[in-house]
Amino acid sequence: MFPTGAAGVALILLRIAVAATLLFNILPQGGPAAHMWESTGLGLLGIAICLGLFTPVSSIACCLIETAMLLDAKDLHFIPVISSILVAASLGLLGPGAYSLDARMFGRRLVVSSSDKTMSGN
């Protein structure tokens, strides 16, 4: 669930790509000051994706935002947005990787049951 090595680094790059696409292509026109709440929300979502915080939920939110943008916009190039939706969905399915906050919070743990202790003592 939390791959290390080259796969973990690839997931970092994928998280950065999803966050960059979200921030640069979807950020409201007119600058951040014109749409303060939207910009703040998108910025927090982009930071969460970059850091790997609640990655599956953050990726779903990113997909929903991009889908809404795709359905709402009239003068929009469809292929880059659909590609962005697919990349965000793949990140949600792959997970955050070992180099993320999710891995620190929900990572591998060793669970030792009491029956394991009694069997090893015999």
pLDDT tens digits for range 80-115: 888 889 999 999 998 888 888 888 888 766 567 776
CA 28 to chain CA mean position, Å: 20
- CA quadruple 38, 75, 57, 44: dihedral positive or negative? negative
Query: In the Cβ-directed half-sphere of 109, how many Cα atoms lie within 13 Å?
Result: 7
More confident residue, 107 or 20: 20
Question: How many Å apart are CA 27 and CA 68, to the nearest integer?
Answer: 13
> Which element (helix H / strand E) includes 107?
none
Whole-prediction pTM: 0.75
Q: Which of 113, 94, 114 is nearest to 102 (CA)?
A: 94
Residue in this structure with the two tokens 């290390």, named with its chain if needed: 4
